[in-house]
Amino acid sequence: MADHDAEEGDGRNGSLGFETRAIRGGGEPTAEVGGAGDVVSPIHLASTFAAGRIEDPTAGYSYSRLGNPTRDALEDRLAALEDADRGMAFASGTAAITCFCLATLEPGDHVLAFDSLYGGTRVLFDDLLSGFGIEIEYVDATDPGIVADAMIPETALLWMETPTNPLLKLCDIEALARLAEDGETLLAVDNTFASPSCQQPLALGADAVVYSTTKFLNGHSDSVGGAVLTSDDALAEGVEFVQTYGVGAMLAPFDCYLTLRGIKTLPVRMAQHERNARRIASYLQDEPRVQRVNYPGLESHPQHDLAARQMDGFGGVVSFEIDGGVEEARTLLGELKLFSVAVSLGSVESLIEHPVSMSASYVPEAERRAAGITDSLLRIPVGIENPEDLVADLKGGFEAL
């Protein structure tokens, strides 16, 4: 269960607990209204800012692409969540990944990436980044020894996710950070699946953390956004330069507001996501028509010990295989009433998706099979509804099979 009480105050994340930082981290809103102060950060929609003093026209905010008070409030909050020196808020998780890669890689560089990455990141790496003369190699990063063996002098970046989508595989962030310790190689972790509530890669030695804030951080399926957090100043400056002067991929003020609002309840949402995910995983384990359940919180998960050591809670995503194939999987989806059939994850409402028909449909069949994505695999990002309602809905679905 995500429970931060025991962990905080030990210096790992500064003096305030995670729940407090989710609400107050990075400073207070400062706008004054009639002598009183805003309790909630206001939404600054202005694209340009009038100079306060004509003698010094560049002091303060000037143009919203370069800096915006609502975005600053979100970026400071994001940084505070992981005790990072810098946070940057992007128009999407994809924009965050692209800007990070453009800032850190050059032609001739070699990237070692987990062979179980988010599909969109694979497209970005294979169809965009490789065109810039960057070599991408995918390895089974569940074993840090395999990553170590694949490293070459040109390896500039280790790109990792943990747990991964949709099979919930893990990699050992501390062990990978040791491989990247030489200063020549960066370790970046896409921490979208775990969220900073469950896992803090910077504290485990990563150089940078990347998020799709679309998922758990915003948590309400009503904003697409991304983030990069780091305590490496030079790295932060490079990424910010690409973001503001190169790609222009910053998060709009209204979405900054929504994400700030979402973050306040991240710790309580994560606790309920996990409680429900555990309940559903244990129900699925006992369901005779289920062949296999993937959830790091289960003792049957091959990397359960690593999950217990590295994570603070096991997250809110469960995947499973049922008896049968595509037809049975689709029949089950059609019977469910409390799960929306949809991609994405990390929101208050429970979703379900069939990777072979949806998120992984563009992956060639042989590659899909090699990756372990079978025809009857289903993925549930568990919401925060009443868990018994969710289990009853699943039971009804299985009875119709």
Residues that bind ligand PLP (CB under 6 A): 92-94, 118, 120-121, 161, 165, 190, 192-193, 212, 214-215, 224, 226
Say what angle helices 387-399 and 266-286 make with each other, to 10 degrees. Answer: 30
C-alpha pair distances (Å), 278 with each of 58, 380, 382, 387, 390? 53, 12, 10, 9, 12
SS3 226: strand
**CA distance readout (Å), 66 to 27, 58, 63, 246, 275:** 20, 12, 6, 11, 41
Active site includes 118?
yes
What is the helix, strand, coil percentage profile of the chain, to 5? 35, 15, 45
Rounded least distance, CB 78 to ligand PLP, Å: 14
Rounded Cα–Cα distance for residues 345 and 119 (Å):
14
Between 190 and 321, CB nearer to ligand PLP: 190
Residue closer to ligand PLP by CB (options 92, 347) is 92
Q: How far is the CB of 258 from ligand PLP (least distance, A)?
A: 13
- 3-state SS, one letter per residue, for 130-159: HHHCCEEEEECCCCHHHHHHHCCCCEEEEE
Our CB check for ligand PLP shows the closer of 349 and 393 to be 349
Q: In whole angstroms, how close is the CB of 322 to ligand PLP at the nearest point?
A: 23
Residue closer to ligand PLP (CB basis): 218 or 391: 218
Residue 16 Cβ vs ligand PLP, minimum distance, rounded to whole Å: 28
Report, in Å, the least distance between residue 343 CB and ligand PLP. 8
Residue 65 annotated as catalytic: yes
Q: CA 390 to CA 381: how far, in whole Å?
A: 12
Q: Looking at 71, 86, 169, 215, which residue is catalytic? A: 215
CB neighbour list of residue 208: distance below 8 Å, 6 or more residues apart: 100, 186, 187, 188, 189, 202, 228, 229, 230, 232, 235, 239
How many other β-carbons are positioned within 10 Å of the β-carbon of residue 63?
12
Catalytic entry in 72, 109, 172, 190: 190
Give yes or no for a contact between 359 and 166, defined as CB atoms under 8 angstroms apart. Answer: yes
Tokens (6 digits) for 312:
């603070």
- Cα torsion 259, 260, 262, 266: sign: positive
Nearest to ligand PLP by Cβ — which residue?
93
Strands (DSSP E) along 48-149, which ranges? 86-90, 110-114, 135-139
Structure tokens at 380: 């549930």
Asked if residues 359 and 351 have their Cβ atoms less than 8 Å apart, the reply is no
Compute the least distance from the CB of residue 378 to ligand PLP, in Å.
Answer: 17
Q: Which is nearer to ligand PLP, 178 or 261 (CB)?
A: 261
**Nearest distance from C-beta of residue 328 to ligand PLP, angstroms:** 26
Nearest Cα neighbor of 204 from 216, 187, 192, 217 is 187
Give CA–CA dist 135/329, Å, rounded.
37
Residue 211 Cβ vs ligand PLP, minimum distance, rounded to whole Å: 8
* C-beta of 151 vs 224, nearer to ligand PLP: 224
Q: For residue 122, what are the CA distances in angstroms to 113, 159, 388?
A: 9, 11, 37
- Among the options 65, 279, 292, 330, which is catalytic? 65
The catalytic residue among 71, 109, 118, 375 is 118
Determine the Cα–Cα distance for residues 121 and 23; give it in Å rounded to an integer: 31
If the CB atoms of residues 235 and 251 are measured against ligand PLP, the closer one turns out to be: 251
Q: Which is nearer to ligand PLP, 121 or 142 (CB)?
A: 121
Residues annotated as part of the active site: 65, 118, 190, 215
